[in-house]
């Protein structure tokens, strides 16, 4: 008999919050340059060392995102190195594909049961995942797949920045490894993974509209709005799961990124690009770097 995990308590809007995280893996011109709630590109500097730049990204292949605005392109071209969340190279992609699969002989249907599996199978059709592959995927991997927009080209912003850096012969670094990022999900209790998957299936239409809202806020360079969308998705339901997501996927990673980016900032002329939701807020990178003595100036 399948080892079905029952989930009786409806959690906070986990799928919505996960979609925010994955999409943002986000100014009004009238705002002052010191206002950290608006802006995507920031100049980071200290006396006695060349300045660097920090860009907030979004996991999107929208042409309005991929066509870099002039200030962003100028900063990128002027940089000596490019520092991304992770290196989007072939090794990372190969690892991610294998890490999403179960190798212990179980199937997804065994874990989540036939009724939910039927829903998942129908929902995943829009992502082009074959049935044979789906049934070997871990619950968190399916939830992640459903919580990100269906891509046509796969050329999302982070990937394009990586390719441009390689083409220009720039040194390229990653603040995290693919293993570290996926371990954030892989280490979740299986019951929480199933909760995440169930929520994603039940909220597919809501996720689509929310992703459109996130993209619109990103194009407006409205970090404050993006942060508000994330916080709103955490207000209802299981606060334990909400707090765990916030700590593991945002707060802890912000701290690690702020530490790991230091060597590149000391060298100067580094173009750093991370998910836009890592920038704002009291624990965001902008605030952390300012506390470390850096001058933060909005460029775009």
Q: What is the pLDDT of residues 147-174, one digit of tens each?
A: 888 888 889 999 999 999 999 999 999 9
Question: CA 71 to CA 77: how far, in whole Å?
Answer: 10
Model pLDDT, residue 24: 63
What does the buried/exposed string (b/e) look like for 66-86 if buried means 16 or more CB atoms within 10 Å of the residue's CB?
A: eebeeebeebbeebebbbbbb
Please, are residues 218 and 58 in contact by the beta-carbon 8 Å criterion?
A: yes
Model pLDDT, residue 238: 66
Question: CA 261 to CA 292: how far, in whole Å?
Answer: 12
CA distance readout (Å), 198 to 9, 115, 162, 202, 235? 12, 11, 34, 6, 18
Predicted structure pTM score = 0.88
Please, are residues 6 and 112 in contact by the beta-carbon 8 Å criterion?
A: no
Model pLDDT, residue 271: 98
The radius of gyration computed from the CA coordinates of the chain, to the nearest angstrom, equals: 19
Counting as low any pLDDT under 50, the low residues of the chain are 1-11, 25-34
Question: CA 80 to CA 292: how far, in whole Å?
Answer: 23
């Amino acid at each position: 008999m399948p080892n079905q995990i029952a989930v009786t308590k409806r959690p906070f809007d986990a799928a919505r919050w996960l979609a925010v995280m994955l999409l943002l893996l986000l100014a009004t011109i009238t705002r002052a340059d010191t206002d950290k709630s608006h802006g995507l590109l920031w100049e980071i500097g200290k006396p006695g060392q060349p300045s660097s730049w920090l860009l907030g990204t979004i996991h999107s292949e929208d042409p309005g995102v991929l066509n870099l605005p002039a200030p962003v392109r100028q900063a990128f071209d002027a940089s000596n190195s490019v520092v991304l969340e992770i290196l989007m190279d072939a090794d990372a992609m190969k690892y991610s594909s294998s890490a999403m699969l179960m190798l212990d002989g179980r199937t997804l249907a065994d874990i989540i049961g036939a009724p939910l599996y039927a829903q998942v199978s129908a929902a995943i059709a829009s992502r082009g995942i074959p049935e044979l592959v789906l049934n070997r995927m871990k619950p968190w991997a399916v939830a992640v797949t459903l919580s990100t927009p269906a891509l046509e080209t796969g050329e999302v912003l982070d990937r394009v920045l990586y390719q441009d850096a390689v083409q220009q012969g720039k040194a390229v670094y990653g603040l995290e490894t693919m293993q570290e990022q996926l371990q954030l999900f892989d280490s979740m209790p299986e019951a929480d993974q199933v909760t995440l998957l169930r929520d994603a299936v039940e909220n597919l239409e809501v996720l689509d509209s929310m992703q459109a809202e996130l993209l619109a806020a990103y194009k407006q360079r409205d970090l404050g709005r993006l942060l508000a969308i994330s916080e709103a998705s955490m207000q209802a339901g299981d606060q334990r799961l909400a707090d765990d997501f916030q700590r593991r996927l945002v707060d802890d990673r912000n701290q690690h990124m702020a530490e790991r980016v230091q060597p590149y900032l000391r060298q100067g002329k580094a173009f750093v690009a991370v998910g836009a939701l890592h920038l704002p807020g009291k624990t965001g990178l902008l605030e952390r770097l300012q506390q470390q003595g850096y001058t933060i100036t909005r460029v775009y």
